[in-house]
Amino acid sequence: MEDIKKYFETFLHWKQLKMTPQRAFILDEFLSSQKHISVEELHRKIAQKDSTIGHTTVYRTLRLLSDAGLAREEDFGDGIKRYEYESEHHDHLICVSCKKTVEIFDNQIESMQERLAEVNGYILTGHKMDLYGICAQCMDKAPSDADEDSYKKTVNSKFMKLSPLGLLKNGTKARVISFTPNMNLPKDVSDQRKERRIQEMGLRLGKTVEILNNGARGPILLKIDELRIAIGRTAAMDIMVEVED
């Protein structure tokens, strides 16, 4: 416990901040709480003992802990951020259908990540890895053709060169796979409209596009058959493509 506090103090010092009694208190409470605690939950717990500590302070301190690599920020798809102390590190396997989450750990992956950081000249302070898939129960529940397809897509995506359109370099050719980065989320009306508009302009699902001009800023110029289409960067980041060789 003491060396965690020591480490956090060093981190704060490096950020030109100080270890205030409030921060120390929040750290203690956080470390002694159960796994995956949300800001609200932690604040409620703290407020019972010290009502002077506000919600914002708790939130900010948790962010600092997260920056320091002491807390892991998680979002299991319900929009609520939960935090967890990184004592024993583990990653997550999340079912896209029922949101069930399993903790996983693999030494080989961990050491490969260390090496990747090292190669790029980084010292690793933390990481999070969430793998998405369909859990066994969900798979047993009478998979229809469409589910099978999306499952295959998810599985294959690791082997395909899947990328947002906006990240491709000039001259790259790629096939349009999806108009949203998350294929499993339902589309709302504005998404549908946008998708429709993009498709009408000629940027259709399954079409091969060539990147003609992708600068650091501004829109991206694409060529589809004989068409030249300029698309805004934000929209282009939402379009998922499979890079062709």
Partner 1 sequence: MNSMIKIAVAGNPNAGKSTLINALAGTRLQVGNWSGVTVEKKEAIFNYRDHIINLVDLPGVYSLSPFSQEEIISSDFLIREKPDVIIDVVDATNLERNLCLTIELMELETPMVIALNIFDEVEKKGYKINTDAISELLCTGVIPTVAKRNIGVDALLEAAISAAVNRSKPKRLIYNEDIENAVSMIETSIKSLPAQGQSDKALPRWIVYKLMEGDEKIRGDLEPIGVSVDIVSDALKHLTDVHKESVRDIIAAARYAQASGLTQEVLTRPEIRREELTGKIDKIVLNKYLGIPIFLFVMWLVFKLTFDISGPFTDWINGSVTEVLKKWALFLILSITGIEWLSLLVSDGIIAGVGFVLSFVPVIFAIMFFITFLEGSGYMARAAFVMDSVMHIIGLHGKSFIPIVLGFGCNVPAIYATRTLENRSDRLLTSLLIPFISCSARLPVYALFVGVFFSENSGSVLWSIYTLGIVLAIIVGLILKNTLFKGKSSFFIMELPSYRVPSWKNLFIHSWEKGKHFVVKAGTYLLAMSIVVWFLFNMPFDAQSKRDSYLGRFSSSFTFIFKPLGFGNWEAVSALITGVMAKEAVVSSMAEIYAPKVNQNKGENTLSVGEDIKKMTLSFFSAFNLSLSNLFSNIGIPSISSKDTEEVVNIKTAIRKTFTPLSAYAFMAFVLLYMPCIVAGIALKQENGTWGWFFFAVLYQFVIAWGIAFLIYQGGRLLNLES
Contacts with partner 1 by CB under 8 A lie at: 144, 146, 192-194, 196-205, 212-213, 215-219, 221, 225-232, 234-235
For residue 133, what are the β-bridge partners?
A: 95
Q: Minimum CB separation from partner 1 for residue 17, in Å?
A: 30
Nearer to partner 1, 119 or 189 (CB): 189
* CB 240 to partner 1: min, Å: 16
The least distance separating partner 1 from the CB of residue 196, rounded to whole angstroms, comes to 6
Compute the 3-state secondary structure of the chain and give helix, strand, coil in percent, each to the nearest 5. Answer: 40, 20, 35
Which CB sits closer to partner 1, 78 or 188? 188
Give the start-end residues of each E strand in the chain: 37-38, 71-75, 81-85, 91-95, 101-104, 130-133, 162-164, 173-178, 208-214, 220-224, 227-231, 240-243
Residue with structure tokens 């935090």? 83
By C-beta, is 26 or 166 nearer to partner 1? 166
| Structure tokens, 53 | 């500590």
154: tokens are 């998810």
Tell me whether residue 29 is exposed, middle or buried, using C-beta atoms within 10 angstroms of its C-beta: 0 to 12, 13 to 18, 19 or more.
Answer: buried
Shortest Å distance, C-beta 174 to partner 1: 17
C-beta of 17 vs 185, nearer to partner 1? 185
Residue 138 CB, shortest distance to partner 1, in Å, is 16
Q: Identify which of residues 19 and 229 has a Cβ nearer to partner 1 in the complex.
A: 229
